[in-house]
Structure formats: C-alpha cells, structure tokens
C-alpha cells in the first residue's frame, strides 16, 4: 500500500510536469536546466543524505554484500540482454537499443526518490552502491552496443565514470563508515536540497511525455512484450533469487525497486549520440515509465517487500 501511495504521488507530479509544458510554463530550455539541477545538485544531495542518519544499523558487511549483489544483478542483465532481442525477433539494427533498455534503468531519477520515500534515507546507502557498476557499464557496454559495428572504438574515459553521482556515493559511504561528524547547518542544507529530487525529476519526466505519440506506444507489440518482461518478469525473478540469500528486508526492497524501475533516459541519449534509433529508445522510456506506475506497486504486493 505504501508503494502504491508513493507511485500515485509521483504520477500526479508527472501530470503537473505534463500540464506545465502544455501551458507553456516549461519549455525545452527550462526542462534542460531543471534536469541539470537534479543531476548535479538535488540527486547528489539525496545520496549524501543517506550518510546523515545517526541511528542507522547498517554494517560494513551489509554494504559489501550489497555491492556484490549489484555486480551479479548487472552481470545477469547483460547476459539476458544478449539473448532477449533474438527471442523477441526484433530487427538486428535495433539489437543495441533493446540491450541497453534491458540493462539501464531509471535508478537515479525514479529509483532513488521511490526508495527514499518507501524505506527512508538510510536505504539510500544500499542504493548508492548500484550507481558504481551502472556508471561503469553505461560508458563501456552501453556505448559498445549502441555504436554501429563499423564505428571506430571509443577509448575508456575515467572522468565520465567518476561523475558527480558516483563521487557523492563514495563520499556518502566514507562519511557513514568513518562516522565523520557534519555540522547541523550542512545537514539541513543537504536535506532541503535532497527534497527537490522527487518533484523536479517527476516534472521533467512528465514534460517529456508531451512529445510522445500515444498511438505509437500502444501499437508496438514487441515493445509492449519487452515492457512486461522488463517491469514484471525480471523483478519477480530477481527478488526470488535475492530472497534465497537471506538478506534483510530493506536490502531486498531496494533491489526490488532497482529492478522494477523503467528504462533510463540515458538509453535515449546514447541512441541519439551514437546513431541508434532515438525514436524507439524514447518510446521505450515513455512506455515503461507509464506502466511502472502500476507495475512497481504490483511487484511490491506480489513479493511482499
């Protein structure tokens, strides 16, 4: 019930973003600037807020376990991505798009706000560890599958992996593990900035929905089947496997949300930059985002987390 309530709230904020674009309050320039605030200020503050919990009972061993689970989950998604486009019989030119859509979810814009709302800021310590393999993969595997086979290989750039989100994750873990005290004024500032993440990110997603053709979304059979696999089958299988490990309920819930989030907007950005099918990627982002409002509470109810 808590998950359903939170998804309804986020959906209503998405509608506010949709309405704002229709009324001319938001435009491409404003939306881009708001995205910049979320990526560079609000979301890093949300990650840092996890380290401010004075009563946290998370042990270092739990964090090591979380990091190992994150690596295994992403490795499993990469393996599944190798076979799924063939199973769905999508055109070979779209293999890269579908592979990227399987692996890269909207864990930043949607996952972190939902985790914070459902489990509290303490759970973000677990969630932050997923960002490290995510960022390494997005700038290696993501570029590789999206680029044409004839394209020149792009060199690995560490500075792209060590972006502000990953730096915030590392800093949050250091502050928490070494019990570094922070002034109350800093705590309050970080908390206030972190509160911007959910409303601003959902408004940006709602704004992006105004550019989608609803008819195209509901008539793309392969994309609908893919969305059911992405949003229902993968989270159910993932949570079932994680429960076998006997990890605590909060970590199980974090993993469930990470696996249940829709296709990340980075997929469309990669397609645009590396000559993939930008329209298909955008439809994947839009369709899975809309369906996730219902699928995430459904997965939570079925799995009991």
Among residues 75, 74, 94, the alpha carbon closest in space to that of 86 is found at 94
Close Cβ partners of 262 (under 8 Å, ≥ 6 residues apart): 105, 106, 110, 230, 231, 285, 288, 289, 291, 292
pLDDT, residue 149, reads 58
pLDDT, residue 1, reads 65
pLDDT, residue 219, reads 83
Rounded to whole angstroms, the Cα distance separating 1 from 148 reads 45
Range of the domain at 241: 2-303
Each residue's pLDDT tens digit, 281-291: 888 988 998 89
Q: Are 287 and 227 within 8 A, CB to CB?
A: yes
Count of domains observed in the chain: 1
Helix, strand, coil share (%) of the chain residues, nearest 5: 80, 0, 20
Structural Rg of the chain based on CA atoms: 19
pLDDT, residue 261, reads 95
Q: What is the CATH number of the domain that holds 46?
A: 1.20.1530.20
Residue with tokens 């959910």: 198
Residue ranges of the chain with per-residue pLDDT less than 70: 1, 53-56, 148-157
Using alpha carbons, list the distances in angstroms from residue 160 to 21, 136, 140, 266, 280.
31, 9, 10, 13, 25
The two three-digit tokens of residue 95, written as one number: 């293999």
Using alpha carbons, list the distances in angstroms from residue 241 to 201, 229, 255, 287.
31, 16, 11, 27
pLDDT, residue 154, reads 62
Rounded to whole angstroms, the Cα distance separating 31 from 173 reads 31
- Tell me the whole-structure pTM to 2 decimals: 0.86
User: Any idea how long the chain is?
Assistant: 305
């Amino acid at each position: 019930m808590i998950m359903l309530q939170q998804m309804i709230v986020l959906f209503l904020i998405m509608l506010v973003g949709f309405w704002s674009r229709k009324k001319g309050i938001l435009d491409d320039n404003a939306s881009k600037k708001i995205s910049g605030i979320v990526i560079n200020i609000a979301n890093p503050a949300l990650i840092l807020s996890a380290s401010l919990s004075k009563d946290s009972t998370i042990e270092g061993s739990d964090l090591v376990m979380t990091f190992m689970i994150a690596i295994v989950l992403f490795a499993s998604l990469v393996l599944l991505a190798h076979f799924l486009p063939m199973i769905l019989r999508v055109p070979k030119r779209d293999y890269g798009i579908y592979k990227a859509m399987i692996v890269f979810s909207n864990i930043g814009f949607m996952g972190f706000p939902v985790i914070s709302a459902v489990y509290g800021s303490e759970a973000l310590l677990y969630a932050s560890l997923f960002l490290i393999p995510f960022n390494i993969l997005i700038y290696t595997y993501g570029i590789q599958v999206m680029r044409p086979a004839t394209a020149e290989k792009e060199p690995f750039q560490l500075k792209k992996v060590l972006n502000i989100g990953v730096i915030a994750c590392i800093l949050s873990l250091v502050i928490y593990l070494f019990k570094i005290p922070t002034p109350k004024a800093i705590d309050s500032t970080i908390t206030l900035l972190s509160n911007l993440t959910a409303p601003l990110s959902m408004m940006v997603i709602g704004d992006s929905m105004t550019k989608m053709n609803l008819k195209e979304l509901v008539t793309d059979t392969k994309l609908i089947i893919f969305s059911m696999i992405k949003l229902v089958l993968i989270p159910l299988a993932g949570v079932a496997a994680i429960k076998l490990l006997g990890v605590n309920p909060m970590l199980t819930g974090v993993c469930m949300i990470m696996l249940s989030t829709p296709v990340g907007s980075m997929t469309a950005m990669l397609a645009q930059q590396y000559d993939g099918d930008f329209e298909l990627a955008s439809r994947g982002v839009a369709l899975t985002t809309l369906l996730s409002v219902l699928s995430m509470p459904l997965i939570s109810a079925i799995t009991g987390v």
